[in-house]
Amino acid sequence: MLKQRTIQNTVRTVGVGLHSGTKVELTLRPANINTGIVFRRIDLDPVVEFASAATSVGDTRMASTLTRDGVRISTVEHLLSACAGLGIDNLYIDLTAEEIPIMDGSASSFVYLLQQAGLQEQHAPRRFLRIKKPVEVHEGEGAREKWARLTPYDGFKLKFFIEFNHPAVDGTGQVAEVDFAFESYVKEIARARTFGFMQDVETLRGMGLARGGSFENAIVMDEYRILNADGLRYDNEFVRHKILDAIGDLYLIGYPLLASYDAHKSGHGLNNQLIRAVLEEPDAYEIVTFDSLEGAPKTYIAQAQEWARI
């Protein structure tokens, strides 16, 4: 049986929010079966809880932000991406401020934190959301068109196309595809960092964004080149980071996916529209479990085998 997972031990870290610039303490705690991923603002009295759900997303400017009764938790996608990549189903995420710390701008710090906590199988079947028919969302027209699509697939794979009209970005590869039946999330996706442009910094900060951004937590570019002294971690790190983001955004559907995701210049907003569109069509999906590894998707057999080595 493919089983649900949580972590064995409570772990903590401290960082700053990418957009708020605020210092925040993050605590990850084990959760019981069928809890899901639950975010908690423990700096508030009473504590405010947020379910990890498509309908919890209230703002998608530069990040996926959960909102409830005027309270926010922003930039949840990198941590959720790590949870999806390691197969974590149930987890409490406690915060002392409104934003998940950005760490190094990728998901690798969260992968390390979860591994340090230890992964724990639970005595309940893991539930998957299987896409039964194509679901697609669009935005814009012509050269400005963006779209994202989920189609049936016995596993989980993603393909992403980006276009920024910037020599440093477009010159590194605009398309990437990853199939987790054959490739490792930890090795191929987790270390890809977020990125930004120097010319946009003042505008973003005027909007209350990017106040915690630095060379330590993002790839930074001027009009022509990458400014980070250490360069890129992957040859196509930009588009790999968009895949990392998409994995986290899609995990807000509440289950690991059995689907193929294909996107053209998509972002947090369109990704959220996509999973909402799925949930609004009951005949587009079904919830399934696997009583044995025989017949289970290769994607999640590979993930379970990788998890067993951690």
Catalytic (active-site) positions: 268
Q: Are the beta carbons of 299 and 182 closer than 8 angstroms?
A: no
Residue 7: partners with Cβ closer than 8 Å, 6 or more residues away:
28, 29, 30, 88, 91, 114, 117, 118, 119, 120
Length of the chain in residues, anyone?
Answer: 310
Extract the runs of DSSP E, i.e. beta strands, from the chain.
3-7, 11-16, 23-30, 37-41, 48-51, 57-59, 65-68, 71-73, 91-95, 119-125, 128-131, 135-139, 146-151, 156-161, 175-179, 195-197, 219-221, 257-264, 285-288
Q: Please count the helices (runs of H) and the strands (runs of E) in the chain.
A: 8, 19
Structure tokens given for 179: 């199939």
Per-residue exposure over 64-84, b if at least 16 CB sit within 10 Å of its own CB, e if not:
bbbeeeeebbbbbbbbbbbbb
Round the CA-based radius of gyration of the chain to a whole number and report it.
Answer: 18
Q: Kindly list the distances between the CA atom of residue 260 and the CA atoms of 136, 228, 254, in Å, as whole numbers in the listed order.
A: 12, 33, 17
Enumerate residues 6+ apart whose C-beta is below 8 A from 276: 54, 55
Residue 237 · residue 219 · CB < 8 Å: yes
